[in-house]
Amino acid sequence: MITYDKLYRNPSAFRSLTGLDRVLFERLYAQVEQALEQQRHTEKTRRTHQPRQRNRGAGRKYANDLRSRLVMTLFWLRVYPSYPVMAFFFSVDQSTVCRNIAEVFAVLVSLTEFEFERPSEERPKRTSPEAVMDAFPEIALVLDGKEQRIRRPKTQKDAQGNPIETQKPYYSGKKKSHTLKSEIAVTPSGKIGSVSASYPGGENHDLTVTRKNGLLDRLDPDRDAVMTDSGYEGLDKDYPDHTLIQVAKAHRNHPLTPEQKAFNGVIGRYRIVVEHTFAQMNQFQILAQVYRHARDTHGAVVRVVGGLVNRRIAERPLKTYEAQMSLAI
């Protein structure tokens, strides 16, 4: 049986099973506890947001305390076992696992926010030398798309009994599977600055997701430049006032010149930061395995995992890409 007390006595197992060390866990727990306490003092229920019919604190008590329920939720995100396996490990019923995770996960969603999803005037200016690139000091974000495989959607029928095409929008020819796609914006230091909603991977190109997400509309064209890969070709036409550092793309009968190849090599060495951040996110198996839950919950899961990764990066930053790239160029 997994309990908070047992894990706390084993620091390496604690981090391996929850994704956070004990210090970061306690900080997160304090925020979750405060958020739940504030919800209890409202006059509406937490789940349905309807007026209360019973006093605050009434009803059946939880079998596990809040720390154990938070451990359970992080364990689910980190390892991504099925609910029967969760019930076995935590010695509770499957329905209890479902309710506990749903409650704590909703709080984690409410606590997760990203810097570049706020208006530009509310964001602090980047003054730290570790937060900017030496060759591209104007770069604020590096954009890339993240796809995850999902189960094949079931065939549905309309009111007349005719089949509805539910699989084609999700089938990615590149991945040869059904996927959901999210756009992740990462700062030059590796911190996640924005996470988009999740879109069907078959009918949404990286550029399409950017247009739907509207991230560049929230950026300041005078101070927030963006770096992208070749999948975002044409973005400069949508945002002519923004500074975009893009990888050059070869076309039929128009191969890349030696100068363009050299430029792409430089950009690639800087863009590696987003791949390192993706690797941090994929340590949470809920984003690495085939996603088994409802598709409309995927965006919230990506956001929560992104928030957890930011907590880890704040405590233990990624490589100093600026100094590394200065030596490489």
Question: Across-strand partners of 145?
Answer: 183
Quickly tell me which residue has 């996640």 as its tokens: 192
Query: For residue 277, how far is the Cα from the chain centroid?
Result: 10
Question: Across-strand partners of 195?
Answer: 184
pTM, entire model:
0.86
Per residue in 23-44, pLDDT tens?
999 999 999 999 988 877 666 6
* Residues 104 and 138 sit within 8 Å (Cβ to Cβ): no
> What CA–CA distance (Å, rounded) separates 57 from 217?
44
Token pair recorded at residue 257: 């010149």
The dihedrals phi and psi of 142, each to the nearest 5 degrees, come to -115, 120
Q: What is the DSSP string of 273-319?
A: HHHHHHHHHHTSTTTTS-B-S-GGGHHHHHHHHHHHHHHHHHHS---
> What CA–CA distance (Å, rounded) separates 72 from 204?
34
Q: Specify the 3-state DSSP secondary structure of 15.
A: helix
Q: Where are the domains of the chain?
A: 4-111, 115-328
> What CA–CA distance (Å, rounded) separates 324 from 329?
9
In the structure, how many helices (H) and strands (E) does the chain have? Answer: 11, 9
CB atoms under 10 Å from CB of 321, counted, come to 21
CB atoms under 10 Å from CB of 255, counted, come to 9
Per-residue pLDDT of the chain (329 residues; tens, 9 = 90+): 888 999 999 999 999 999 999 999 999 999 999 998 887 766 666 566 677 676 666 556 677 889 999 999 999 999 999 999 999 999 999 999 999 999 999 999 999 999 888 776 666 665 444 444 555 767 889 999 999 999 999 887 777 777 778 899 999 988 899 999 999 999 988 899 999 999 999 999 989 999 999 899 888 888 888 999 888 888 889 999 998 888 888 888 889 899 989 988 888 888 889 999 999 999 999 999 999 999 999 999 999 999 999 999 998 887 655 444 443 43
